């Protein structure tokens, strides 16, 4: 159920086109940008010389992204631990030799 809600959230957020402003506009209108992001939950891309260089996003979006990254990291660690249990660990000296260190 949680994954289903996650996908709905992602689809909902993609419906709203992220505004693009250049660095000068961002600097001159920072208070307005922050208000749009914090209250209206808009996302704003910052460009420099026509290239996207940063984004200002609601804190909820960042926290959600960080939770997803944490979940991925935990799954990767669990897989690695299972692999060690199944196949055993490689000693440090063997790793250094294999990498020619």
The 10s digit of each residue's pLDDT in 17-59 is: 468 999 999 999 999 999 999 999 999 999 999 999 999 999 9
The mean pLDDT of the chain is 87
Kindly state whether residue 2 falls inside one of the protein's structural domains: no
Mean pLDDT, residues 62-66 taken together = 95
Who's near 47: CB < 8 A, 6+ residues apart?
20, 21, 22, 23, 53
Task: Name the phi and psi angles at 79, rounded to 5.
Answer: -60, -45
Residue 45 is part of a domain; what is its CATH number?
A: 3.40.1620.10
- Confidence at residue 8, expressed as pLDDT on a 0 to 100 scale: 58
Query: Looking at the 3D structure of the chain, how many domains does it have?
Result: 2
Beta bridge partners of 21: 46
| Residue 75, in any domain of the structure | yes
Domain span at residue 29?
A: 17-57
């Amino acid at each position: 159920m949680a994954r289903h809600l996650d996908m709905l959230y992602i689809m909902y957020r993609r419906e709203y086109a992220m505004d693009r402003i250049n660095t000068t506009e961002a600097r001159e209108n920072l208070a307005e940008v922050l208000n749009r992001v914090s209250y209206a939950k808009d996302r704003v891309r910052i460009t420099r010389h026509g290239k996207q260089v940063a984004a200002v996003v609601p804190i909820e979006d960042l926290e959600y992204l960080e939770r997803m990254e944490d979940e991925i990291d935990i799954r990767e660690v669990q897989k690695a631990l299972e692999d060690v249990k199944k196949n055993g660990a490689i000693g440090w000296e063997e790793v250094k030799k294999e990498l020619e260190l």
